[in-house]
Structure 1
Amino acid sequence: MTHTIVMTGATRGFGRVAVERIREGDPEAHLVLLARGAAGTELAAHLSQSGRPVTSIPTDLLSLGSVRAAADELIQRLDTGDLPPLRGFVGNAGLLYTNNVTESPDGFEATFAVNVLANHVLIRLLQDRFKAPSRIVLTVSDAHFGDFRHNAGMMPAPSWQDPASLARIRAFPKPNTVTAGGTAYSTSKLAAIYLIHEYARRLPQGVDIVAYNPGFVPGTGLSREAGAAVRFVGRRIMPLMTLTPMASSQKNAGQHLADVALGRIPAPSGSYIDRTREVSSSKESYDLDRERQLWETVEDLCLPIAS
C-alpha cells in the first residue's frame, strides 16, 4: 500500500544517497522532503522524472515557525488524502557551528535548535498521524560518547547541564571558540538520544523510533556554516579518513540510513543503531531523570512558539 515517508537532510551528503536507496527499496513510498530554499524543490522535481512523484515542502529548520508551518501542511494533506498514510520520518538534518554564540530566529542556540528542537516539533505535531507500523529515525553521532575510541579526539565530549541553558547561547566556556561549538554539537546529540528514549515510552503503539549513528562521515556539509578554513579541511582533508576504519563513506552511510528507515535492520523502539547493528549508546545516555527533565524543558520552550 502506498505510504508517506517524510525526510529532512535529504538534499546533500549521505542523505542524498539515502533518498535514492529508499526509493529503490520501497516502491510504495511517497517521499516528502523538508528542505530550505530551492534545494528540496529541485531534488523533488528531479526524482519525480522517474514517474513516481516526490513532494517538497520548503522548511527552515532553524525557525520553529517554519517547522510548524511544514507540519501543518503535512497534516492537512494527510487528512485530505492528498498524501497517503504516514509511515516514516527520517530526521537526518543537522548542523555544527564553530562557536556557541549563533542564535536561531527564535533566540535559541542554533545547533540545539536544528539538532533537537526542530525534530521535537515535527514528531510531536505528527505523532497522531502515523499509521502503525511506522518507524522514525533520527541521525545522531558517536560524538556523544566523548571518548578517543569513538572520535579520535576530533570532537569535544558533551557537557550536560540544565537543558534550558543548553538551548541558549554561551552555555559553554569560551563560547566564541571552535571547542565550544563542538561541545554544543556533541551535547545536542546526547540530548537527541535522551529524547529518543522518552519518545519510545510516549509514542503510540506501533510507532517505533530509533537512533542511527553513521560514524564519522567526511564531506557531508555538516559544518557548512563554519569559516572558510574549517570548510576547506572538511572538503579536502577529512575525506581521506574514509581510507581508515574510523570513517564511513557517504555512500555507505546513506545506504545504511535507508536500510534503518526501511526496517531492514531490526531493532526495538528506543534503540541505538551503529551503522548496521544495534548496540548500546554511551553509559551517560541512559539517565531517566535527565530524559524527563529534557522532555519537560523542550515542551515548554518550543511548542508554544510553534503553536
Structure 2
Amino acid sequence: MQSTTVMTGASRGIGRVAAEHILRESPDTHLLVVARGLAGARLAAELGSGGRAVSHVQADLSSLESVRSAVAEIRDRLECGVLPPLRGFVGNAGVQYTNALTEGPEGLESTFTVNVLANHLFVRLLQDCFAVPARIVITSSDTHFGDFKHNMGMVPGPVWQLPEVLARTGAFPEPDSTSAGRTAYSTSKLAAIHLVHEYARRLPAGVDVVAYNPGFVPGTGLARNAGPVSRFAMRRILPLMALTPFATGRAAAGRYLADIVLGLTEASTGSYVDRERTARSSEESYDPLRERELWDAVERFTAVHAA
C-alpha cells in the first residue's frame, strides 16, 4: 500500500543514508523531503533516480512562518490526492551554533527553533492528516545525558530553564561562546525528548512517536556552523573514532534511523531508541510536570502559525 513519509534533514549525513535506505527497503513509500531553496529539488532528483517516488517542499526551519507555509503545501497535496496517505514524519534536521545568540525571523533563538519548535509545528499541523498506523520519529541526542560516558566531555550537559527563557537568545552564561551554543544544543535535545513523551500522551491512537539517538556520529554536517578548526576535526580526525565503540558510523546510524521509520525496530509510542534498541533516556528526561509546562509554552510560541 502506497504511503507518504515527510522528512527533514535528508540532505546529508545520517538523514541522506536513511532516506536512501527507506526508498530501497520500502518501494511503496513516497518520500517528501523538506529542504531550503534549490537544495530540495536537487535532493529529490538524486533520491528519485530509478523511478523512486520522491518530491520536495521548500522550507527554512529557522523560520516558523516558512514551516507553516511548507505544511500548508503538504496538506494541499494530501487533500487533492497528489500524495498517497501520510503515515510518517521524520524530524531529523538539527543545528548547533557557536553561540547562544543566533536569532530567527520570529525573534526566537535559532537552536531551539530548529530543534524543537519546527518539529512541534510539523507534528501539530499534520496530526489530523495521518492515516493509522503511522509513526513519527524525532532525532534526539545522547548529549542530553550531560555526562562523560555519553559525550566524552565534548558537549556540555543541558541546563534546563523556563521554556520562555530557553526560547530566547542569551539563555546561558557567556552566550557568545561556543560552550553556550553547545549547551543550547544539548538542552534542545532534552526538550525534544520531553515533547516526545507529551506527544505520546496527546496524539491520536495509532500515531506513534519515538525519539531516536544515533550516538556520536563523526563526519556529519552538524558542525557546519563551527569554526574552521572544529570543522576540520569533524571532517578529518573524529571520523576515525567511528572505528571505536565510542562512536557510530554514518552508514550504521542512517540505517538505524530508517529501520525505526519503517517499523523494523520495535518501539512503543514514547520510546527512546538508542541506535538499534529501545533504552531509557536520562532520568532528568522523565518529568511530566516539566513536559506539560513545555507543551504549554511551545503551543504559545507557535500559536499564530498553527492558527
Question: Would you call these one fold, judging by a TM-score over 0.5?
Answer: yes
Asked whether 1:61 is paired with 2:61, we answer yes
Q: Which residue of 2 aligns with 1:119?
A: 119
Asked whether 1:165 is paired with 2:140, we answer no
Measured in 1, the distance between the counterparts of 2:40 and 2:232 equals 25
Q: Which residue of 1 aligns with 2:44?
A: 44
The AA in structure 2 aligned to 1:229 is V
Q: Which residue of 2 aligns with 1:16?
A: 16
Measured in 2, the distance between the counterparts of 1:150 and 1:47 equals 33
Per-residue deviation, 1:235: 1.2
Contact 2:23 2:52 in 1 (8 A): no
Measured in 2, the distance between the counterparts of 1:223 and 1:58 equals 23
Distance change (3 Å), C-alpha of 1:228 and 1:306 = farther
Structure 2: runs of 5 or more not aligned: none
Give SS of 2:56's match.
strand
Give SS of 2:210's match.
strand
Contact 1:147 1:157 in 2 (8 A): yes
Measured in 2, the distance between the counterparts of 1:289 and 1:98 equals 31
Provide the aligned length of Structure 1 versus Structure 2: 307
Measured in 1, the distance between the counterparts of 2:107 and 2:238 equals 32
Q: Which residue of 2 aligns with 1:177?
A: 177
Contact 2:11 2:35 in 1 (8 A): yes
CA root-mean-square deviation: 0.9
Can you list the C-alpha shifts for 1:101-130, whole angstroms capped at 9, x where unaligned?
Answer: 110111111110100000000000000000
Give SS of 1:222's match.
helix
> Identity, % of aligned pairs?
61
Give SS of 2:33's match.
strand
Measured in 1, the distance between the counterparts of 2:272 and 2:213 equals 7
Measured in 1, the distance between the counterparts of 2:218 and 2:46 equals 25
Q: Which residue of 2 aligns with 1:34?
A: 34
TM-score for both structures, normalised by structure 2: 0.98
The 10-residue stretch of structure 1 (44-53 or 273-282) with the greater mean CA deviation from structure 2: 44-53
Asked whether 1:209 is paired with 2:229, we answer no
The AA in structure 2 aligned to 1:200 is A
The 10-residue stretch of structure 1 (217-226 or 293-302) with the greater mean CA deviation from structure 2: 217-226
Per-residue deviation, 1:209: 0.2
Contact 2:113 2:167 in 1 (8 A): yes
The AA in structure 2 aligned to 1:100 is A
Can you list the C-alpha shifts for 1:238-277, whole angstroms capped at 9, x where unaligned?
Answer: 1111121010111000000000100111111000000000
Measured in 1, the distance between the counterparts of 2:27 and 2:19 equals 12
Measured in 2, the distance between the counterparts of 1:176 and 1:306 equals 32
Q: Runs of 4 or more off by more than 6 Å in structure 1?
A: none
TM-score for both structures, normalised by structure 1: 0.98
Contact 2:29 2:53 in 1 (8 A): no
Contact 1:208 1:270 in 2 (8 A): yes
Structure 1: runs of 5 or more not aligned: none
Contact 1:22 1:262 in 2 (8 A): yes
The AA in structure 1 aligned to 2:66 is S
The 10-residue stretch of structure 1 (36-45 or 290-299) with the greater mean CA deviation from structure 2: 36-45
The AA in structure 1 aligned to 2:185 is Y
